[in-house]
Homo-oligomer: A and B are copies of this chain.
Amino acid sequence: MKYYPRPESGLDIHDVNLAVEAAFREHGMGNVQMPPKVYISFPNGDFRTMPAYIPALQLAGIKCVNVHPANPEKGLPTVMALTTILDIETGLPLAILNATGLTDLRTGAAGAIATRYLAGKRSVTVGLVGTGRQAAAQLEAISREIDVVGVRAWSRKDVSAKKFAERFSRFDCRTGTLPFVCDCDVIVTTTPSRTPILMDEWVHEGTHINAIGADAPGKEELDPEILKRAMVIVDDPVQAIHSGEINVPIREGRFSPEEIAGTLGDVVLGRKKRRDNEEITIFDSTGLAIQDLAIASVAMKNGNYLELEFP
């Protein structure tokens, strides 16, 4: 059994994107086992277990991941994760991976795949609402799939946006107000907001939105009016209804599960596509166990591991 302490280092982002795309293709064909995430609640956080099996890719395993919002004060990441990959023939654990960094990248990959298929153009400007680790992961992953010709960034803290813009100056990254940032071909929202911060009137026709931030009941970034104008694609209907961008609008009766246009798997399979240049498209990402398996399979080719005695 191998242990990978830093499996994200040196990963080729395009390889990751392709592996995650392959996993969504299997998901779209209904060829995966992926039971709903199981939650355990702690006084100041939680942990989730995410098992899955993708027969066609000969991949099975489980990610365990916590969310403890006060961790940064203690010098620890809010989210930490371990992925265990099993041999399908024998059930033997083949590898345990520190999936803390991988979790960022596999979420970025889903956003990049959605953008490649759903953005109306091959060459885009990207508006980032939120400039944390996930914003960086999205931008890196998207720019490996299509041409990014300009970036606009907004953060609740101006200094964070400025730092981000410096780091990504190679994309001609500028900071500004939310309406300024929304005037882009692709918008990526990655905040922990619990009230809409992206207003309907700022989003012009033809925009593609990766709605990444909402990943728990009660979280919401988009004015629900945007959903009504858009084709809404989810990663997984059960998870999206439970904890994705659409969870609050559904609970409030402002959106209904029947209005979901399809899954990212449907998009990858060509069953769902943007109707015309005017349509707004939204990808509602909650994060799937199959993404974790996909990125683990790429990372395990990396070579940087310790051999552990087992069984």
Contact = CB atoms under 8 A, between A and B. Distances in A.
Interface of A: 3, 5-6, 33, 35, 38-47, 49, 51-53, 60, 62, 64, 66-68, 71, 74, 76-77, 80, 82, 84, 86, 88-93, 96, 98, 100, 306, 308-311
B86 A84 contact: no
A311 B100 CA distance: 7
Contacts of A88: 42-43
Q: How many copies does the complex hold?
A: 2
A64 B93 contact: yes
Which applies to chain A's interface (DSSP): helix, strand, loop or mixed? Answer: strand
A76 B90 contact: yes
A245 to B, nearest CB: 24
Contacts of A3: 3, 308
B76 A62 contact: no
Contacts of A60: 40, 42, 47
Contact of A5 (B42, B46, B310): B310
A92 B75 CA distance: 12
B51 A5 contact: no
A82 B38 CA distance: 18
B64 A40 contact: no
Nearest to A67: B91
Nearest to A75: B90
By Cβ-Cβ distance, the 5 closest A-B pairs, closest first, are: A66-B91, A5-B309, A100-B311, A68-B91, A80-B311
Nearest to A101: B311
A289 B89 CA distance: 24
30 contacts: A3-B3, A5-B308, A5-B310, A6-B309, A35-B38, A40-B53, A41-B53, A42-B89, A42-B91, A43-B88, A45-B90, A46-B91, A47-B60, A47-B62, A47-B86, A64-B84, A66-B91, A66-B92, A68-B89, A68-B90, A68-B91, A71-B90, A71-B91, A76-B90, A80-B91, A80-B311, A96-B96, A98-B310, A98-B311, A100-B311
